Amino acid sequence: MRRNYIYAIITVFIWSTMAAVTKMLLSDIPCLETLAVSSIFAFLFLLIVNIKNGTVKEVRNYSFRDYEIMAGLGFLGLFTYSALYYYGLTQLSSQEACILNYLWPIMLVIFSAVILKEKITVIKGIAMVCSFLGIVILSWRSSEMVNAVLGIASCIAAAACYGLFSILNKKINYNQNITMNVIWLVVAVCSAILGFFVEDWVVIRGMQWLGIIWLGVFIDAIAYLLWALALQNAKDTAKIANLAYLTPFLSLAVSAVVLGEKLTLQAFIAFIFIIGGILLQNFYGYI
């Protein structure tokens, strides 16, 4: 159990950089190009890891049908999710997009109840509502949000996709090293094909490569793999999922430093609700 929490906490810290780094990249590079190139780095990194630790030998253990399922998960969970989230980032501030994106842990708990038949206790429900209120408070900027309906809808749809992906990925219970390797290959191929038809790609230069490598290797490859492992081995999905609510607050701090986006009293109040939900869930989750 301790290892699951370590994986989840590391993931949270890495994911806290996602909104700011991606927002910076998208200011100069089209969405699907960013997704395609970073996904190639994710695929290559995981392939090297799988070769080095011998996991690649397990490729033969899966049937063509298994790889179809992995590809379907990749299309739903990380291609569709990432494409929608990246679009949302182009329409909203990094803070707003990140906060709306973190509806997905709520989706995860709901899907875990429907698909995995995990029980939503009273305490889980209160904790979920508490953390959700924090997200609502943090994202409440009605005058600006009304003008970004597509961005809002995109981020909410992305959250639903990733919440469903997380549960389905846990349910099939494949080796996550192999699964995530296949998934990022699918994301790279789908992004490249769609991007070829709908975007005018640009030449990636200088420091942009550092951002692409960070996005591909650390955020896409390492963080998503650790999160998948944490969920796969967790006995109680909701407890792990609630840790993800730390990410929006940490992301605010990163955005303040990197993008100059201001931290407000509103963010502090939201943080109290978010942390309150996490503490309630993790200390009283068995009540």
All structural domains of the chain with their residue ranges = 2-119+145-240
Question: Per-residue pLDDT averaged across 122-147, rounded?
Answer: 70
Q: Where are the alpha helices (DSSP H) in the chain?
A: 2-15, 18-26, 31-53, 64-73, 81-91, 94-101, 104-115, 122-139, 142-145, 149-172, 176-198, 207-213, 224-233, 237-243, 246-258, 265-284
Alpha-carbon gap, residue 269 to 140, rounded angstroms = 12
Alpha-carbon gap, residue 21 to 90, rounded angstroms = 12
To 10 degrees, what angle do helices 31-53 and 18-26 make?
130
Alpha-carbon gap, residue 29 to 44, rounded angstroms = 21
Residue 212 identity: I
Q: What residues have CB less than 8 Å from 110, skipping those under 6 apart?
A: 163
Q: For the chain, what is the mean pLDDT?
A: 84
Please give the residue that has the higher pLDDT: either 271 or 108: 108
The reported pTM is 0.82
- Please write the tens of the pLDDT for every residue from 39-94: 999 999 999 999 998 988 889 899 999 999 999 999 988 999 999 999 998 888 78
For the cut 90, the answer to whether the pLDDT of residue 181 exceeds it is yes
- Please write the tens of the pLDDT for every residue from 234-286: 666 667 767 777 787 788 788 878 877 776 677 678 767 876 776 676 555 44
Quote the pLDDT of residue 32.
96
Q: Which residue has the tokens 């875990």?
A: 112
Alpha-carbon gap, residue 233 to 239, rounded angstroms = 12
Quote the pLDDT of residue 235.
67
Confidence of residue 192 (pLDDT cuts 50, 70, 90): very high
